[in-house]
Structure 1
């Protein structure tokens, strides 16, 4: 089987191609050196934040960006960005699959509906078991306690007692456990 022959180049074209390859190799080696040496030099004493440190940081970023672009075809910021556009997927089949999966997720959400049990974890942790209007209820409880003659110290100790005993009360409901 005959192997395809590379195109015949003139001596000037061959020389230009070799120079381009050599320049690419040198730039890549300088970028690798910049990624390694710039942080090391920045960490050497005296450590201070000045124009010299800023220029070393810029050198590190540009070196890392060049290496990232040569390996992946994208710059460092776009490669590490969590928010990528849909059009960045490599093939049409991948974009179609992503669209189908997104539609399925949306359909499941519509079918199930979003009830209080499906609230986000962060909101559950932040709010605890409280529902809407908790501030008003808390203010009313505080107002009643102050009218009964309790002080803020008493209310704080009651809350600490409730937390310590996990809000367990005896059968009478007076907040004291029977022994």
Structure 2
């Protein structure tokens, strides 16, 4: 939320500043999810490595076999580290894309995400996603109904199921309208008969 939005809600400028300062202290939910998932993954990795070390202690008799086991475990641990890093990178990319789509006003993040080309998205070191803003703009142009804030098309004339203010023959029942409603109707329908 911006300071202007908070002021529009009825807060004073000083109160809005205090709210914005307090919000900076909180961790966003997406970032918290990343940290929790990384923590759980690291706990599982540590437990697995502890098990591997116990196995090594038990088989410490044959030196050649022990050297081979150590080499195998080092290779497996390196592969696990790479898989873990890739998983965390993908999680950060997903969260950054979701946050950007919500900021852009996406009504359904999954639907908009399905229209995106994931191969063209790349997470940069500073946490931004290259290629994301271009794809969002393209989707907003082609499928603007997926984003909030777009004006819905207003239909003129008789609408089935609408109130009885407008009769099928085009005449308006002015007895049910206020003066301002009548003025607005005449502006919208310059040739209307009252």
| TM norm. shorter chain > 0.5 | no
The higher radius of gyration belongs to 1
Q: State TM-score, norm by structure 2.
A: 0.21
Q: Which has the higher contact order (CA 8 A, sep 6+)?
A: 2
Q: State TM-score, norm by structure 1.
A: 0.23
